Structure 1
């Protein structure tokens, strides 16, 4: 009997310890700047297939505009940036659970997202477009009537697609879209004819298609979605961290470093 009671007490103690540790990891009401500055390490969550913002090259190295920008920002504070690939549809959960410290990967600012996260200052403009093969004869969104559309799961484009059905959703087949975790697979399906159009960020479309040998085979169609702005996503409690990022943006803009990073990836300064 004593042995049984001891076992029950031991299990209860272990569960209590695990519970306390778990609560500590998921505490989100304290600004994390002091911890990050002390550890000299910050974790950025990203979709590692979003060219040219943050993606894996053929060697498996994560590179991109946002990668260079994040490193430039935290170099000013002598802080190392670790990049962690995440399920983009779960990005806000990963942030709140402290698996990552920042969402920084062509992350569009929107009213819906502002309810969940704190945003840094905006640093680049973007818009949602539809990419299609020219042979499909799609020249505007209404030409997608009865056609199959693809989109990225959890993307701002898909959010706009659902929130403003009159712009595109009401035209496409079954008023829905085939959802992809990343755009690489989506482009393969576009090439093979499984989908007729792909809803995508213009910055991704421009970069991806500029590196295709058959660029002339594609069309990029603008529609009625509002323009977007890229910003860094933080926990609502991380106001000091946001101030540090915003201050770094100002320094990089004044020094010309921000423009230099942009020109390296886009051939021009596309930053705000």
Structure 2
């Protein structure tokens, strides 16, 4: 357990100290969604753009501070803010009384409102009354979800909740839900992108979007945001940003959203070609995190695997506890605990890459421990006894006699663990790690071309895993012949 404490302390020591001094010229870490177009999304060049992104950068320039954007899901961004891993959140976040108990909000920068959408080829649902007995899709934490919850008893429909706006569209197009409720600018943007959805009702009255910080924290950042927002509105720059993404004033107010479907902007080959740089960057991160995590996992596995075959009961007990804990906790829960819970409990910041490597290392390390234990115990005990009878020290016997034979037995299991860890990196997109799967989600948030993107991602995973498996098989054969 001392080793685990060291690992957590090491991760915390590498993280930059929280920003808490007032004044300009500082860099603030801002969490956002980046799957909530047109407020925040990733363009074809891999840059984060949208109303929220343009606003926060313009306000930072106006007030003389800098921002570092962290791409997270909406719920993950709020948890990162509570844990102190980000200084503020701007993500199309509605200002509510419940949220005011936890966060301090800026002045309103956008007046929103929910709207219902149905599949473009659906001519049976034209009002809320037609939803009776149907299933309706909403995104967690949005005004659309709040509004749908408030009327579902009256109109007798069931709710299903998703994390991304694009998932709502896929759910409705696939026929899983009859309709969706989403904030009207997001719905309008998706229709313009040819997402297969149309509107059949008017926009409902909604609340306001605000920038958030932890309650009682970063008051200077909040003051600069409000002052910068006021100056942007006074100069007309705010209106320019809104018009850039929503067009006319009528479109911005939801008055002239076209209920009919627009044509897609690009064909399939153009989409894949334009998105390939983002995919390749995500693939590079996937391979990097896999390799780094497995190196540390092998070190942990070697240490705890040796402890599990030790004659010392205390060492065996410690190794058993390590394996039981990190093999028993689901990877998703472990990632949440490391990235959100630990920094909040001990008061330090942790970078996403640190949490990701630590999560994968501890999870894979538990399995590697068992691989090494099984490999060592597969070797005839008589060899160890013979070496000891000849006066060879235990360490030398393990290093020169037992382990070289055990490695041949372990190689197939190591290959399998390598493949598992590579695929497990996709789970860490939940805390904002931009690997291959997350790269695909960001592209879908901009284009709504789910089938083409996920097919490309699946083929890329298949190619990489096949190549790595073939290389590992050749290595296994060479070791076996040796």
| Residue pair 1:92, 1:117 contacting (<8 A) in 2 also | no
Q: Tell me, in whole angstroms, the C-alpha distance in 2 between the residues paired with 1:106 and 1:152.
A: 12
Aligned counterpart in structure 2 of residue 77 of structure 1, from 56, 63, 66: 63
Count of aligned positions: 247
Q: Tell me, in whole angstroms, the C-alpha distance in 1 between the residues paired with 2:125 and 2:240.
A: 36
Paired position in structure 1 for 2:73: 87
User: How much has 1:181 moved relative to structure 2?
Assistant: 1.5
Q: CA RMSD in A?
A: 3.1
**1:74 to 1:220, Cα distance in 2 relative to 1, 3 A:** farther
| Residue pair 1:126, 1:229 contacting (<8 A) in 2 also | yes
Q: Tell me, in whole angstroms, the C-alpha distance in 2 between the residues paired with 1:117 and 1:104.
A: 12
Q: Tell me, in whole angstroms, the C-alpha distance in 1 between the residues paired with 2:23 and 2:178.
A: 45
User: How much has 1:88 moved relative to structure 2?
Assistant: 1.5
Paired position in structure 2 for 1:236: 215
| Residue pair 2:33, 2:77 contacting (<8 A) in 1 also | no
- The more displaced of 61-70 and 136-145 is 136-145
**1:148 to 1:26, Cα distance in 2 relative to 1, 3 A:** farther
Q: Which has the higher contact order (CA 8 A, sep 6+)?
A: 1
Paired position in structure 2 for 1:63: 49
What does 1:113-262 align with in structure 2 at a 5 Å threshold? 113-133=99-119, 135-162=122-149, 164=150, 167-173=151-157, 175=158, 177-212=159-194, 218-222=198-202, 226-237=205-216, 238-262=218-242
User: How much has 1:192 moved relative to structure 2?
Assistant: 2.2
User: How much has 1:222 moved relative to structure 2?
Assistant: 3.8
- Residue deviations 1:35-77 (CA, integer Å, cap 9, x gap): 6845x21222111110100012234322111111110000123
The structure with the largest helix share of the pair is 2
**1:81 to 1:268, Cα distance in 2 relative to 1, 3 A:** farther
| Residue pair 1:120, 1:242 contacting (<8 A) in 2 also | yes
**1:45 to 1:36, Cα distance in 2 relative to 1, 3 A:** farther
User: How much has 1:137 moved relative to structure 2?
Assistant: 2.4
**1:143 to 1:36, Cα distance in 2 relative to 1, 3 A:** farther
User: How much has 1:243 moved relative to structure 2?
Assistant: 1.4
Residue 246 of structure 2 corresponds to residue 266 of structure 1: yes
Q: Tell me, in whole angstroms, the C-alpha distance in 1 between the residues paired with 2:248 and 2:78.
A: 31
- Residue deviations 1:178-199 (CA, integer Å, cap 9, x gap): 2221111221222222211011
Residue 87 of structure 2 corresponds to residue 101 of structure 1: yes
**1:213 to 1:114, Cα distance in 2 relative to 1, 3 A:** closer
| Residue pair 1:26, 1:97 contacting (<8 A) in 2 also | no
| Residue pair 1:25, 1:98 contacting (<8 A) in 2 also | no
1:168 counterpart SS class: helix
Q: Tell me, in whole angstroms, the C-alpha distance in 2 between the residues paired with 1:33 and 1:248.
A: 19
- Residue deviations 1:187-244 (CA, integer Å, cap 9, x gap): 1222222211011001101111122286xx6224247x64111111111113222111
Paired position in structure 2 for 1:4: none
Structure index of larger Rg: 2
Paired position in structure 1 for 2:333: none
Q: Provide structure 1 residue ranges, at least 5 long, that are not aligned to the other structure.
A: 1-7
| Residue pair 1:141, 1:168 contacting (<8 A) in 2 also | no
